[in-house]
Structure 1
Amino acid sequence: MSVISSHGPIYPVILSGGSGTRLWPLSRPECPKQFIPLVTDRSMMQETLLRTLGVPGFEPALVVSSASHGALVREQVAALNHMPAAVILEPMGRNTAPAIALAANWIAKQDRQALMLVMPSDHVIADVPAFHAAIAAAAPAARDGRLVTFGIQPHYPETGYGYIAKGDALDADGVVHTVAQFVEKPPRAQAEAYLAGGRHYWNGGIFLFSAGVLLDELERYAPAVAASSGHAMAASRQEDGFILPDETAFGASPDISIDVGVMEKTDRAAVVPVDMGWSDVGSWDALWAIRDRDGDGNSMKGGVVSVDGVGNLIYVDGGPPVAMIGLRDSVVVSTAKGVLVMPRDRSQDVKTVVERIRGGALV
């Protein structure tokens, strides 16, 4: 299926600057989770690139990553035999609004009307055809000046995600809607009500809008981001195939997400709901949920011996083999850099461990 006809190009923009701390010890600053083959034999960044590679209507992708990961990006893109439109390396992390603004400035130089499909590099999408269909449905609204986000169909009352409430339909088919409300991570009772109500969707951080409209809305609602990113790209330099924005100009940008900076303020926001087998693989519990499991609910990788184990994720990658007896609903991760053992339902607390390690505890 052609995602888009002859109405102009779509530039995929792959955001690859995250640190993936909740998947410690496998995901570490020098090689965060987007560069690791956690689910398939390719990394999540490679899988993200492949979602649009060779699909009619899409230009080669732009990758926005950190200066410390340039070599990893080059290696992983080369393994796909793909030449990106550009690889922009941020001199420091400033959250998603400045990162997207860098890409928008690059695209606007080619064509202000061109659409940009913003995708985090560390998400899993099991049903790519459903994703393509949602992009096709969203494209006319994006060309009409809407900033479209994709609302992920929730299947359980997740409290770790933000939510999007859909408003009135904008198209005859009732697929594209206004955004009635963005909601921060809700308490469980509220998440359960959202799931039952059918109007709320997970905020997956995937967007479709024109480069020009995005830059205009940044000027209106986040002018410091617009100015710093514009100056950083105007003063950028090319080096070894990378675009390096000016460090001083980019460093002046506020650290702000695209949701807070623009999407929650603009009157142009729209949402297209989609059910596409999405996961942000934001924790070891989330990884257990999407990996293949045996009849006892265990997902095991590497050197593992299990006796009477139920509902576990045992992941060995470069560390010593693991033997478990009678373990229930737990996570054991064994790497050369560290070992993690915890109940699966404590997966969100890994960030606390990483903070303590950074403060000098244990390692």
Structure 2
Amino acid sequence: MQRLITPVILSGGSGTRLWPLSRTSRPKQLLSLTHAETMLQLTARRMPADAGFAAPLVVANAAHASMIESQLAEIGIEDASIILEPVGRNTAPAIAAAALMLPREALMLVMPSDHVIRDVESFRAAVTAAMPLAEEGWLTTFGITPDAPETGYGYIKRGGELAPGVFRVDRFIEKPDQATAQAYLDEGGYSWNGGIFLFGAGAYLDALAQYEPQMLAAVTKSIEGGKREGNCFYPDPHDFAASPGQAVDYAVMEKADKVMVVPVEMGWSDVGSWDALHTISLGDDDGNVHHGEVVAIDTKDCMIRSEGPLVAAVGVKDLIVIATPDAVLILPRGSSQEVKRAVAALQEKGHITLDRAL
């Protein structure tokens, strides 16, 4: 009998690359960016009970507990379990906490809460293709089919085919430069590393025991000493904070032997910048994407978004303008990764707009 898959939704990110709309008090996964529903809600909807999935398990920042519960309730998900991290320790400890809350034989579909997947059926088909080997102890990553020589993502090189559409991972590759990324695209056999995984809870914990025993020990102790309040579980803060902070790629996936990749084209974006949001949004005939109260005259290829004040733009092109009630961001289109420079300057000043709720 095939096991139910538990969606494990990682919702601990701060989303500073989408400042000033995204704040530590309400990061991008809790915002409505591409749809009337928030990114967390869209993620939770992808793997519903009527498609054969177990109730979701969300790992999140304790500061966002009430927002997460209310957003899930809004879409009819009342049975989710929520693990609330007292401090961020990156993805490997977060996934370990989830695995320790599940039976060892449970299959975990680990998904970031802030990604766009437009072709959900293709995603589900990839999960189905991965299931038989995942049940045999293989650790699965889903490779995003690249459509450009993107330098902002890590890459996965495919090895031999293990089953139809399923390949052994030859190696993981750090973010390349432009020429190398283009060579990967020309050669074929490479995928972007999108950070979506499928594996058994026991298989993941066994890998941690082998490669990161200190992490496993700390997280295990934090779960054993934690407390439950309704649907929420609070790991012991002292023990959880004692865990090394590391991404699952480095802690496990790049070290383990039985690692496979399922390449999939599914209309994926990590919405990692305002430029990325502009690209995936439906624009007008002049390439403009507007949201909120905007008056645009003779503008071209701009993204103008207002969460309050009227924004009037005349005779401009290739701009990103994001206005909230307490801050305005203006950037040349194509440079939106530079938001981090503004955020760093605000952090030095301890500026309230990094944290204040909108």
Same fold (TM over 0.5): yes
Match among 14, 28, 40 for residue 19 of structure 1? 14
Tell me how far 1:362 sits from its aligned partner.
6.8
Counterpart in 2 of 1:328? Answer: 317
- Superposed, which structure 2 residues align to 1:85-124 within 5 Å? 85-107=80-102, 111-124=103-116
Tell me how far 1:202 sits from its aligned partner.
0.7
Relative to 1, partners in 2 of residues 1:164 and 1:55: Cα closer, same or farther, differing over 3 Å?
farther
Are the aligned partners of 2:10 and 2:111 in contact in 1 as well (CA < 8 Å)?
yes
2:168 and 2:313 mapped to 1: Cα distance?
Answer: 51
2:333 and 2:105 mapped to 1: Cα distance?
Answer: 46
Counterpart in 2 of 1:80? Answer: 75
2:260 paired with 1:270: yes
Paired residue type of 1:31: R
2:335 paired with 1:340: no
Deviations 1:222-242 (A, max 9, x none): 111111111111111012431
Counterpart in 2 of 1:169? Answer: 161
- Superposed, which structure 2 residues align to 1:202-351 within 5 Å? 202-318=192-308, 320-351=309-340
Are the aligned partners of 1:8 and 1:57 in contact in 2 as well (CA < 8 Å)?
no
2:267 and 2:248 mapped to 1: Cα distance?
Answer: 24
1:240 and 1:155 mapped to 2: Cα distance?
Answer: 44
Are the aligned partners of 1:112 and 1:211 in contact in 2 as well (CA < 8 Å)?
yes
Paired residue type of 1:340: L
1:214 and 1:55 mapped to 2: Cα distance?
Answer: 27
Are the aligned partners of 2:20 and 2:324 in contact in 1 as well (CA < 8 Å)?
yes
Are the aligned partners of 2:80 and 2:231 in contact in 1 as well (CA < 8 Å)?
no
Are the aligned partners of 2:222 and 2:239 in contact in 1 as well (CA < 8 Å)?
yes
The residue matched to 2:101 in structure 1 has which SS?
A: helix
1:95 and 1:361 mapped to 2: Cα distance?
Answer: 23
Counterpart in 2 of 1:62? Answer: 57
Structure 1: runs of 5+ lacking an equivalent: 1-5
Counterpart in 1 of 2:185? Answer: 195
Runs of 4+ in 1 over 4 A off after TM superposition: none
Counterpart in 2 of 1:138? Answer: 130
Relative to 1, partners in 2 of residues 1:132 and 1:55: Cα closer, same or farther, differing over 3 Å?
farther
Tell me how far 1:56 sits from its aligned partner.
3.0
Deviations 1:77-99 (A, max 9, x none): 11011123411000000000000
Paired residue type of 1:321: L
Counterpart in 2 of 1:153? Answer: 145
TM-score, normalised by the number of residues in structure 2: 0.96
The residue matched to 2:51 in structure 1 has which SS?
A: coil
Identity %: 49
Are the aligned partners of 1:154 and 1:201 in contact in 2 as well (CA < 8 Å)?
yes
2:3 and 2:179 mapped to 1: Cα distance?
Answer: 44
The residue matched to 1:58 in structure 2 has which SS?
A: coil
1:307 and 1:198 mapped to 2: Cα distance?
Answer: 43
Are the aligned partners of 2:84 and 2:232 in contact in 1 as well (CA < 8 Å)?
yes
Relative to 1, partners in 2 of residues 1:356 and 1:242: Cα closer, same or farther, differing over 3 Å?
same
2:169 paired with 1:179: yes
Deviations 1:224-262 (A, max 9, x none): 111111111111101243100001110110110000100
2:317 and 2:166 mapped to 1: Cα distance?
Answer: 43
TM-score, normalised by the number of residues in structure 1: 0.95
